[in-house]
Structure 1
Amino acid sequence: MRPDTIRWFAVLSLVPFIMVLGNSMLIPVLPAIRSHLHLTMVQTGLVITAFSLPAAVTIPFAGALSDRVGRKAVMVPALVLYGIGGILAGLSAWLLPGRFWPIVGARVLQGIGAGGTYQLSMALVGDMFQSTERSQALGWLEASNGLGKVVSPLLGALAALASWFLPFFLYGVLALPVAFGVHRAVREKAPRREEGGVARYLRQIPEIARRRGAALSAAYGAGMLLLFALFGLLSLLSDELEARHRLSQLARGGIIAIPVGMMAIASFTSGRSLQTRPERLKPLSVIGLICAAAALGALAFVSRPLWLTIALSALLGLGTGLTLPAVNTLITGAVSRDHRGVVTAFYGTVRFGGVAVGPPLFGLATQATARLAVFAGTALALAALAWALSVVRVSSGPSPAQAGGPAQLAPAPGGVKGQPDET
């Protein structure tokens, strides 16, 4: 990257970092929230779901709107709403002690804001970078997201030492300056205006689904299932560390940072590898899914010693980090710039959906047996692996327009030929 590009891209990289705080910062604080508000495990999981589910619903609309009006025009207000929602959650906990549902309402507002953040930064990278630079930039974004997952449990645990609801206020303190930075510094290309307007745009979406729906679904499913398993497992691990091992919030945050730290390192190295060797995209995806399935399968039978549980959780983080940059590269290169926003937005929806349902479903399953949830995650990871093996195609020659690298999503049988990654 050129020096001027590095400067604005560094600001853009803060967006996935800020967004991931929305859930990860609260993971080690969940036992304290449950204790102060006298909640069940399922109710506590709603603190995560109330953020993630509205984000999942909002993301497609944010992506489609960004294709029409520009990425920044959606991203900046979304970051502001994200920060304000966090501040309102903190005020609800402070001024309405013992009340759970006002916090849930504020988290819903925060989740709506989150819907216009990370996925739009991915679409913007797809717009602004071509060839192998795109894989590197997407790897950096995923690494920034992973770094946020590493820092946020520690940050949340440290803030909760002062007060259990202080982490909510940090969202506003961090997100509002980033919104200003994106507005001032980040570059983007002006959206193209084509004949037919919104009606033509909407008519083209079913055509994209027909041509590449099966392949995109495979990529979407891999991203969703990995994050479903990771966040479901982390919520269980946090509760286990508090209930069985009586560890402090700070200690829990440090242990939870291990698997997400492994994910961040793997995301960065995977993105760098794809920049120079794009033909590794399919092998990295397959290896990552194998690691995730193996870790989940082993965790179904392991509950102690603690170090082995942590090691297997780290293996799950490794598999997630190896797979996600490859999946991101496939998705951003699957369609042209005019529809990249909505395609990456649907990807964001399924990612947030996985995060939303992971903690409460894992918590619900543990009321019967913890193995049920982990077995289900293992089966889904294996299904994603089989699907990825069948649809990901990597050619040895250059890609169309030299824009997306040689790795491609195979179109559906009978699909329309074309150059999906034109810019």
Structure 2
Amino acid sequence: MKQEKKWSIVSLASIPLVKTLGNSMLIPVLPTIEKKLNISSFQVSMIITLYSIVAIILIPIAGYLSDRIGRKKVIIPSLIIAGVGGIISGWAAWKMKDPYWLILVGRIFQGVGAAGAAPVVMPLVGDLFKSEKEVSKELGVIETSNTFGKVLSPILGSLLAGLVWFLPFFAIPVFTLISVLLMIFLVESPKKKKKPVPFKKFLKQIKKIFKKSGRWLYAIFAIGCILMFVLFGVLFYLSSMLEDQHGIDGIKKGLILAIPLASLCLASYFTGKKIKENKVLMKWITVSGIALLAISVFAISFTENIYFLLGIFFICGVGIGVALPCLDSLITEGVEKEERGTITSIYSSMRFIGVAAGPPVFVLLMKASHQVMYYSITGLCMVAGLIALKEIKPKKAK
């Protein structure tokens, strides 16, 4: 690989890292924000939820625009918007007596920025490399960066909030500025060989893709949503259990939460290097990863021993970690470049739905009973595995 492309991947990998830090970094800080602002648990949860809802709605639009006007022309302004959102929320928390509503405005800006930046990275990687082997490898790096952000988030969020409770808001524009500079100077967009087709013709092409390849595309959308739903639900459950049952909080809790995320990160990296362009291998690694996840979730029901549970959560991370790069590669390599941004953005939107739904649904299941939660999530994982087994039959959509 040429040196320029190596720096391009480093630059692109910074974007999912920034996106993940911008949201997940605040999760361990939410109880502190609730106390400082004297607001309810529901109100503080909106700091995360609004971000996700805005991103879910706008991601497909960003994908479409990236197909029409170019990837960098969407990514760079989006990163700037996300940075502005961090400044708004941080300034409100620092200077205002009643900052809650302006903090939400800032979070909406961040959601807009996240929608336009992170989901466009996957199709841009597909544009930069001709070989499917290279695409799979570099998408593994991108997924690893995403998961590394999740590993770093609870630790960094706890550290910054320990200094000044609103400091995590101000960290976001710093991270986005670094990504903007990297994108401007180190990433060169591939030249478009074809002029963008008219909107009506574009819609017909998208409909044609879904008509011909809809089954495996819908399967990947559903599996991506389920995996992120289980991941964030399990993290929420682990966070609650550590604090309520074992009295562990602060930095120590952040370090423990990083364990399953670290296994996810490592699994994503090595899987991305292994799968190359082998789509059959991608399918079976995905099925195996989901099976491992289902078995792990079921095993949680047998004991509350903290060391056993941490081992199980580590295995959960591996199961999700091996599946995600395979899904990324299947969908990126299975769609032509002209529609790639739109299709992959829908996939990213589905993953955001899983992120947003995981914690509140786990709360409801935990209120019913922990056994209901274990068996329900195990069943959902089995459904995802069956979908992968039966429906993933990727072909180049034309």
TM-score range, shorter chain: over 0.9
Amino acid at match of 1:59: I
* Deviations 1:370-406, CA, capped at 9 Å, x for gaps: 444443332221111101101223xxxxxxxxxxxxx
Report the counterpart of residue 320 of structure 1 in structure 2.
320
Q: Does 1:266 align with 2:267?
A: yes
Deviation at 1:300, TM superposition (A): 4.1
Cα distance in structure 2, aligned partners of 1:301 and 1:98: 46
Partners of 2:155 and 2:171 in 1: CA distance: 13
Q: Are 1:89 and 1:102, in contact at CA under 8 Å, matched by a contact in 2?
A: yes
Return the offset for 1:194.
Answer: 4.0
Query: In 2, Cα distance between the equivalents of 1:164 and 1:272?
Result: 39
1:315-394 pair list within 5 angstroms: 315-393=315-393
Provide the C-alpha distance between the structure 2 equivalents of 1:167 and 1:38, rounded to a whole number of angstroms.
19
**How far 1:178 moved relative to its partner?**
0.9
Displacement, 1:83?
1.6
Aligned with 1:115: secondary structure?
Answer: helix
Contact in 2 for aligned 1:50/1:105 (Cα 8 Å): no
When structure 1 is superposed on structure 2, of 277-286 and 120-129 the one drifting more is 277-286
Instruction: Indicate if the aligned counterparts of 1:71 and 1:120 stay in contact, CA closer than 8 A.
Output: yes
Residue 141 (structure 2) aligns with: 140
CA drift of 1:216 comes to 0.6
Q: In 2, distance between residues paired with 1:15 and 1:24?
A: 14
1:218 to partner: Cα distance: 0.8
- Per the normalisation by structure 1, the TM-score is 0.88
For residues 69-122 of structure 1, the C-alpha deviation after alignment (integer angstroms, 9 at most, x for no partner) is: 000000001111112212222222223356533323321221111001222110
Residue 35 (structure 1) aligned with residue 35 (structure 2): yes
1:305 has 2:305 as partner: yes
* Partner residue in 2 for 1:238: 239
Q: What SS does the aligned partner of 2:276 have?
A: helix
CA apart distance, 1:53: 1.5
Q: Counterpart in 2 of 1:220? A: 221
Corresponding residue number in structure 1 for 2:157: 156
Give the equivalent residue in structure 2 for 1:191: 192
Is contact 1:42–1:363 with CA below 8 Å preserved after alignment? no
Distance 1:179 1:3 in 2: 20
Q: Which moved more, 1:226-235 or 1:270-279?
A: 270-279
2:2 is equivalent to residue 25 of structure 1: no
The answer to whether the 8 A contact 1:227-1:355 is kept is yes
* Secondary structure of residue in 1 paired with 2:116: coil
Question: Structure 2 vs 1, CA of residues 238 and 100 (structure 1 numbering), >3 Å: closer, same or farther?
Answer: farther
Larger displacement relative to structure 2 (72-81 or 174-183):
174-183
Equivalent pair of 1:83/1:176 in contact (CA under 8 Å): yes
> What is the distance in 1 between the residues matched to 2:246 and 2:206?
51
1:89 matched to 2:66? The reply is: no
Offset of 1:168 from its aligned partner?
A: 1.4
Cα separation, 1, equivalents of 2:327 and 2:196: 32
What is the letter of the counterpart of residue 329 of structure 1? S
Aligned to 2:397: 420
SS at match of 1:158: helix
Residue deviations 1:133-176 (CA, integer Å, cap 9, x gap): 11101101001111111112111111011122211111111112
1:44-64 CA distance string (max 9 Å, x none)? 433221111211111100000
- Matched with 1:5 is 5
The structure with more helix, counted as a fraction of residues: 2
2 CA distance for matches of 1:17 and 1:256? Answer: 17
Q: Distance in 1 between matches of 2:360 and 2:39?
A: 13
Q: Distance in 2 between matches of 1:12 and 1:89?
A: 25
Q: Answer with 26-35 or 218-227: which moved more.
A: 26-35
Distance verdict in 2 for CA 1:332–1:236, change over 3 Å: same
Cα deviation, residue 264, structure 1: 0.4
Question: TM-score scaled by structure 2?
Answer: 0.94
Is the CA contact (8 Å cut-off) linking 1:8 and 1:186 kept in structure 2?
Answer: yes
Q: Which moved more, 1:258-267 or 1:307-316?
A: 307-316
Contact 2:89 2:169 in 1 (8 A): yes
User: What's the Cα RMSD here?
Assistant: 2.0
**Counterpart AA for 1:27:** I
Return the letter of the residue paired with 2:4.
Answer: D
Structure 1 CA distance for aligned equivalents of residues 287 and 99 of structure 2: 46
What is the rounded CA distance, in whole Å, between the counterparts of 1:81 and 1:195 in structure 2?
Answer: 26
What fraction of aligned residue pairs are identical, expressed as a percent? 36
When residues 30 and 375 of structure 1 are mapped into structure 2, their CA distance, relative to the original with a 3 A threshold, is farther
Question: Which runs of structure 2 are paired with 1:41-52 in the superposition (5 Å)?
Answer: 41-52=41-52
Structure 2: how far apart are the matches of 1:149 and 1:300?
A: 25
CA distance in 1, matches of 2:105, 2:76: 22
Q: Where in structure 2 are there 5+ consecutive unaligned residues?
A: none
Query: What's the counterpart of residue 203 of structure 1?
Result: 204
Q: Which runs of 5+ in 1 are unaligned?
A: 394-408, 411-418
- CA spacing shift, 1:60–1:387, aligned 2, 3 Å: same
